[in-house]
Structure 1
Amino acid sequence: MGSVSDVYGTLREQLKGSSAEVLTPDSEGYIQSIQRWSEHNVKQAHAVVKVASASDVSTTLRFVKENGIPFVVKGGGHSTSGSSSIDDGLVVDLSKLRKVTVDPESKTIKAGGGTIWEDVDVEAARYGLATVGGTVNHTGVGGLTLGGGYGYLTGKYGLTIDNLVSVDIVLASGEEVVASATSHPDLFWAVKGAGQNFGVVTAFTFQGHPQPNPIFAGPLIFLPDKLPQIVEFANKFHTKNDGNQALLMGFSAPPPANAPVVLTQIFHNGTEEEGKEFFKDLIDLGPIVNAAASIPYEKLNSLLNHASGFDGRKQFGSGAFKLPLNPDFVVQLHADFMAFVNTHERMNESLLLFETIPYGKVREFGEKGEAAGSFANRGDYYNVATCFKWFDPKLDDEIREFSKGLLRNASQSAGVEQDEKVRSVEGVGMYGNYTNLDVDAGQIFGSNAKKLQELKHKYDPDNLFSRGVRLVPRSLVVVN
């Protein structure tokens, strides 16, 4: 292989005639191109290729194979696992692929591989439609979808992948194919949960659903002394909801006060009057902040943006919990969490979050066999997550270990076991989009891991796409 400048000069020639850009460290825009949602994932890539078409992706994949160059794929750049950034390699950047088109007749929404959820929400709303997206609208559509995808509409329509009609995907061979229930159905099965291991998705087609306005949603913030009553409300929520509601409950100490609070985010897919009636017992507890209101659906996924800025180092962690919860247990969990946060500098924006999003439809899709895809987190439980935020790199390992212990405690005490055994597809108790890349495939995919390994050999025999959860040993990578 020649010098770095010579090698990427060759790639520029190969992409001539396209509107793709090849950025190297001396290029204008390079520094911006390697920024990520988490600062600890800002890495010095040799090159960032901003592709403008599936053909550009195919050309770039052939190039990295011929030159033995390690690479990653970047959509929204939200991953805290580091899967969208690389030192001394190449980034396939999909940010130019942000076109969203809606077919009003079929009610389908086609989104480019580099879109963010704001793009989808806003364009779909022009046609009175919505699909299941994330809860922060500057998250990339690709990463969230390929790992499963929970959102406020999950209670009514299942996961994001349960609403996926097809994907346009470029394989390791450079071949451009459409994967769906009728075209490459085994690949489509794999993509729905383990997508980043099988290719570069340049477009997603989702089923849209009629979404009349208004909805009722927003944050209610409480002092910690209200935590037992909030837990009691969550316990009632479990049996009271009809799939049109969601409740997020978390611990943090956000600015400007930097004091401990219990954060809740409420959602009702209906009128303000209905929403206030459903959440009456929670509202009557007297939140210190009540910003719940009737808003257009396309504004919903922006409500948490202010708490999800791009500064600082960040780390997600995943567990699961069942309702009813013992209020005393949650109070102790809050105490343990705050004790750690308060004894470490600039960690007050960290969050322990109970995502009480109804999972009936998620389990229902899980009973549909092949249609459920490879996603295996479909059990009789809810997700609990940590999102730690800090600034001192020396704390990286300590925070990772504390997060694991905290989530293990929350999950086991709630009756959901987490260990390294390969578990049933009925529910693994761990959400892949919240985990690091060092977990065993069985922890994320349960009994689906074996079939995924077989399909990996079929569609990516040289393990070119090796940056996701490890399906085969990374040592199997072969470059020509």
Structure 2
Amino acid sequence: MNSQPDRTTDSTHRSLLSQLRTRISGELIDRSDPRYDDARRVWNGMIDRRPIAVVRAGSAADIAPTLALAATQGLPIAVRGGGHNVAGNGTVDDGIVLDLSGLHDVQVDPARRTVQVQAGATLAHLDAATAPYNLAVPVGVVSGTGIAGLTLGGGVGWLTRAHGLTVDNLIAAEVVTVAGDTVQASETENPELFWGLRGGGGNFGVVTSFTFRAHPLPERPFTGNFLYARDRWAQALASYEAWSRDVPDELTSILTILVPPAGMQLGTDPLLMLGFAWAATDTARAEELVDRMRRAAPPTIEAVEPVSWSAWQSSVDAFFPKGSRGYWKNTSFDRLDDEVRAVLARRGAEQSWVGTGFDIHHLGGAYARVAEDATPFPSRAARFWLNIYGFWADPAEDAARMAFIRAFGAEMEPLGTGGTYLNFLGEERDADAAAPVRPVYSEAKLHRLATLKRAYDPQNILRRNHNVLPAAASDDTE
């Protein structure tokens, strides 16, 4: 919507913003600016917040004064990288949005196979920079996703079985703390902070850059999709249960059921889509593995061919256009037996509209070989992760779509193993209130995160996130 200047912005706020303008190199967009409505928007169209101002950082040096203003004035602050978070944590009512999207430089060191990425970069920026060197960093599956939020939550995608989560490939990070200090975090520098950044969310500071380990990848990796009409779902799901137990780490697959968007020209009935990506050069081996699934469950349609990594990484972008109304539920689970398959098939068939869907991420491999306490990520033992998501456009559909997602999630809950992934977690709370994330972490991990939070953000300035509350001093253990 178009906004007029907000007459409730008082002289105190105008004075504070005027002072901040003199201390930053980037732009400050307040409610009187014609760019305000565009600047305050995030990907999830259900999130409609009205900040006092949006600070578009021109450099990392703009972060500390913006944090200082929020802290000294008691203003809520939201930190935004790509703005793709389904919970809408990149904006806030009556506070400051620190928008890092202008800081998106990516530097690749092909000899060391490392990549340094600024916090405003998206997956598209990262993939475009690494592709010329036939390298890739394990990231997510939608190219518009911000690398910062993805990394701080975990990072599940097409290379998870081959090389682990995004956080498993993080080597170092540069962080601006709420005190205004710039610190380095790695296994050797501030190692506890480094631990917390790898799955603990944006609770401990504002990361300005990430350094990742990259992996060799063919110029045109072997990728593809099998598509199944409803009459073949039972066979496909049963065959996938057996097939997924016996594939090597190099093969990552994601199983999806949804009504495809009109642009795909695949009709209006829900389809089961089995996507797969092979992270090695032995194409013959990949073809043999894929053919094994093809023979067990012949697809209705298939598209199997090597494509560029950037093209594959952006292949589902059309499903999630900016402004989509988004609401998600997720859980981990280990079994894909008759009972679970029946729920998945029934719920999939009920989706007779474009607007919701679900993904099943096949895990294991490198993901599972990381020790459970090596990162805050909630579960390394899970065999599968289910994400039920919405991406509709009409506000009139909110109640029905959200009810479907909630009911599906509730039905899967007793069949799952209880894991909750931060990046698949939608908003279930008042937008500006601190919300503890106890359901995500074990008691031991939450205590460790809360202790870390107290060390770096004792006043909980960075609370517009899936919030970890600072531990009280009395919570310390010997």
Tell me if TM exceeds 0.5: yes
Tell me the CA shift for residue 440 of structure 1. 5.0
Aligned to 1:467: 464
Deviations 1:369-415 (A, max 9, x none): 5xx222222123210010113345465466445423322422433xx
Q: Does 1:13 align with 2:22?
A: yes
Q: Does 1:259 align with 2:269?
A: yes
Aligned to 1:295: 307
Residues 182 and 473 of structure 1, relative CA distance in 2, 3 Å threshold: closer
What does 1:402-421 align with in structure 2 at a 5 Å threshold?
A: 402-413=404-415, 416-418=416-418
What is the distance in 2 between the residues matched to 1:131 and 1:289?
30
Deviations 1:166-221 (A, max 9, x none): 11111111111111111111111111111301111110000111223331113332
Q: Give me the TM-score of the superposition, normalised by structure 1.
A: 0.87
Tell me the CA shift for residue 25 of structure 1. 2.7
Contact 2:326–2:392 (CA<8 Å) still a contact in 1? yes
Aligned to 1:80: 86
Tell me the CA shift for residue 31 of structure 1. 2.6
What is the distance in 1 between the residues matched to 2:314 and 2:397?
30
What is the distance in 1 between the residues matched to 2:396 and 2:319?
24
Q: Secondary structure in 1 aligned to 2:207? A: strand
Residues 309 and 271 of structure 1, relative CA distance in 2, 3 Å threshold: farther
Q: Does 1:349 align with 2:355?
A: yes
What is the distance in 2 between the residues matched to 1:468 and 1:475?
20
Aligned to 1:423: none
Tell me the CA shift for residue 334 of structure 1. 3.0
- Which letter maps to 2:273? L
- Which letter maps to 1:290? E
Tell me the CA shift for residue 44 of structure 1. 2.1
Q: Secondary structure in 2 aligned to 1:195? A: coil
- Which letter maps to 1:263? M
Residues 475 and 316 of structure 1, relative CA distance in 2, 3 Å threshold: farther
Aligned to 2:13: 4
What does 1:38-437 align with in structure 2 at a 5 Å threshold?
A: 38-256=44-262, 257-269=267-279, 270=281, 273-284=284-295, 285-326=297-338, 329-339=340-350, 341-342=351-352, 347-356=353-362, 358-367=363-372, 369=373, 372-393=374-395, 396=398, 399-413=401-415, 416-418=416-418, 429-436=419-426
Tell me the CA shift for residue 42 of structure 1. 3.5
Deviations 1:5-36 (A, max 9, x none): 33312211122xx2x11011332433322222
Residues 412 and 380 of structure 1, relative CA distance in 2, 3 Å threshold: same
The more displaced of 30-39 and 130-139 is 30-39
Identity %: 27
Tell me the CA shift for residue 125 of structure 1. 1.8
Contact 2:81–2:119 (CA<8 Å) still a contact in 1? yes
Residues 363 and 115 of structure 1, relative CA distance in 2, 3 Å threshold: same
Contact 1:271–1:294 (CA<8 Å) still a contact in 2? no
Q: Which runs of 5+ in 1 are unaligned?
A: 419-428
Aligned to 1:442: 438
In the comparison of the two structures, how many residue pairs are matched? 451
Q: Secondary structure in 1 aligned to 2:194? A: helix
> For 2:449, which of 452, 458, 461 is the aligned residue?
452
Tell me the CA shift for residue 81 of structure 1. 1.0
Q: Secondary structure in 1 aligned to 2:178? A: coil
Q: Which runs of 5+ in 2 are unaligned?
A: 1-9, 429-434, 474-478
What is the distance in 1 between the residues matched to 2:84 and 2:113?
28
What is the distance in 2 between the residues matched to 1:375 and 1:417?
14
Aligned to 1:424: none
What is the distance in 2 between the residues matched to 1:267 and 1:464?
41
Tell me the CA shift for residue 51 of structure 1. 0.6
- Which letter maps to 1:436? G
- Which letter maps to 2:175? I
What is the distance in 2 between the residues matched to 1:282 and 1:215?
19
- Which letter maps to 1:379? A
- Which letter maps to 1:335? R
- Which letter maps to 1:464? I
